[in-house]
Amino acid sequence: MAEHDVDVVVIGGGPGGYVAAIRASQLGLKAAVVERENLGGICLNWGCIPTKALLRSAEVKHLIDHAKDFGITVGKAEIDLNAVVERSRGVAKRLSSGISHLMKKNKIAVFMASASLGGMAKGKRQVKLDNGDMINAKSVILATGARARALPGIEANGETIVTYRDAMTPKTMPKTLIVVGSGAIGIEFASFYADMGVQVTVIEAMDRILPAEDDEISAMAAKSFTNRGLTLMTGAKLGAVKAGKGVTAEVTHQGKTQRLTADRMILAVGITANTDCIGLEQTKVKIDRGHVITDGSMRTDEPGVYAIGDMTGAPWLAHKASHEGIIAAEHIAGLGEGHGVKKTDIPGCTYCRPQVASVGLSEKAAIAAGHDIKVGRFPFLANGKAIALGDEDGMIKTIFDAKTGELLGAHMIGPEVTELIQGYVVAKKLETTEEDLMHTIFPHPTLSEAMHESVLDAFDKAIHF
């Protein structure tokens, strides 16, 4: 059993944890990361990145299927599922080893183990590793992330009923698929499998898909998916699910209970923070509805213990975790009190087809918050670049406070909007008003012109619509 003395130990090597460790190291602190599985966490190994690789394959397939529209004649696209999955795994692996390199470069000790918080000894927090080692740290950053939430009575078996991991490493393509849950994860899988030729049914308990998005965006996404042949059952209640050769699910939808059968079911009904088995029970760390409570500097109620990322609550996004990691590291290094992460400054992206991206308040939320608002909309069908791309499904919606001109929210659906959203994120962070956005010169011809036009439209000045 070895003992290690560090300034900061980060438990969890995901996008929150490894970023916190690098920032701590940059600030001259001796940092260590404890990771039980893969550096890069879910995001890099089993989430954001590998699914983007899968969706790229789906996009290529989609383009080939429509090559004729662009004057190119090709044969029928054939899917080599193993190669698709292998490419996705390769991308994840490459990035994970990149994180190892970053750890070395920043002289961060990495312990591949599970860890739990111990008591204090000589002014330092003891962190026990399951390999018998002990780390003594002045500060601890908890960054253990989250796991897929289970639905009572429905057990994932890895074959016919699966969660994200098995969903992104299919050995065979099902003919029919039920996706339970229409948040970002569920919808991305639905979109991927649909593009790969699978008959997909989405079951959502809320009254619309992508329920975190603005109503109008949800509606447009639903229309687009329905046109692609997906079946969307919103406001649906999932009853008994039976696994056999395939899967049979009882679903109550629009007052009628029906039995759906499919080859496979993907469960994507949210996530649960990993707060068990890390020794929180003996501490003052406060947990409310499954999430660790922190202050603006990411401190928990236990002195010297910080928490970041998925375990501190929604939105469960890698970039939120990374940002919180930096706040925690900077606080530990004595750079002063942090101000947490403002939820309305956190963009959200869903990489389905068409893509969806947003930041800030939805129209409903803005009104509920008491704002007198101005709303701008601009459809991609009036954008030259989108037409040239042959990808004109979608629109950009912007919401401003009528009085102050504050950009309250931006909601996009359409081509490459996940890359476009950051323009509004920067604008929001810098607290620009509509005037600044109106006077900004957007390059022509780009999809981003639709961002400009949407702002202009909010003040009845749109040029091209």
Q: Which residues bind other proteins (CB under 8 A)?
A: 403-406, 430-433, 435-436, 438-439
Rounded distance between C-alpha atoms, residue 115 and residue 117, angstroms: 7
Of the residues 439, 444, 452, 464, which is catalytic? 444
Quote the least distance from Cβ 327 to other proteins, whole Å: 14
Quote the least distance from Cβ 401 to other proteins, whole Å: 9
Given the complex with other proteins, which of 62 and 331 has the nearer CB atom?
Answer: 331
Given the complex with other proteins, which of 125 and 428 has the nearer CB atom?
Answer: 428
Quote the least distance from Cβ 339 to other proteins, whole Å: 8
Given the complex with other proteins, which of 406 and 453 has the nearer CB atom?
Answer: 406
Quote the least distance from Cβ 357 to other proteins, whole Å: 22
Which amino acid is present at 462? A
Given the complex with other proteins, which of 251 and 425 has the nearer CB atom?
Answer: 425
Q: Which residues pair with 146 in a beta bridge?
A: 273
Quote the least distance from Cβ 406 to other proteins, whole Å: 5
Q: Which residues pair with 231 in a beta bridge?
A: 201
Contacts of 234 (CB under 8 A, 6+ apart): 182, 204, 206, 207, 208, 209, 222
Which amino acid is present at 194? A
- Assess contact for 141 and 285: CB atoms under 8 A: no
Rounded distance between C-alpha atoms, residue 394 and residue 357, angstroms: 11
Given the complex with other proteins, which of 38 and 432 has the nearer CB atom?
Answer: 432
Q: For the sheet containing 161-162, what is the strand order?
A: 161-162, 264-267, 176-180, 199-203, 231-233
Given the complex with other proteins, which of 438 and 462 has the nearer CB atom?
Answer: 438
Given the complex with other proteins, which of 207 and 345 has the nearer CB atom?
Answer: 345
- Assess contact for 369 and 360: CB atoms under 8 A: no
Contacts of 48 (CB under 8 A, 6+ apart): 318
Rounded distance between C-alpha atoms, residue 156 and residue 137, angstroms: 38
Quote the least distance from Cβ 370 to other proteins, whole Å: 15
Quote the least distance from Cβ 132 to other proteins, whole Å: 45
Quote the least distance from Cβ 427 to other proteins, whole Å: 9
Given the complex with other proteins, which of 50 and 405 has the nearer CB atom?
Answer: 405
Active site residue 444: yes
Given the complex with other proteins, which of 90 and 296 has the nearer CB atom?
Answer: 296
- Assess contact for 113 and 128: CB atoms under 8 A: no
Rounded distance between C-alpha atoms, residue 275 and residue 151, angstroms: 18
Quote the least distance from Cβ 323 to other proteins, whole Å: 15
Catalytic residue ranges: 444
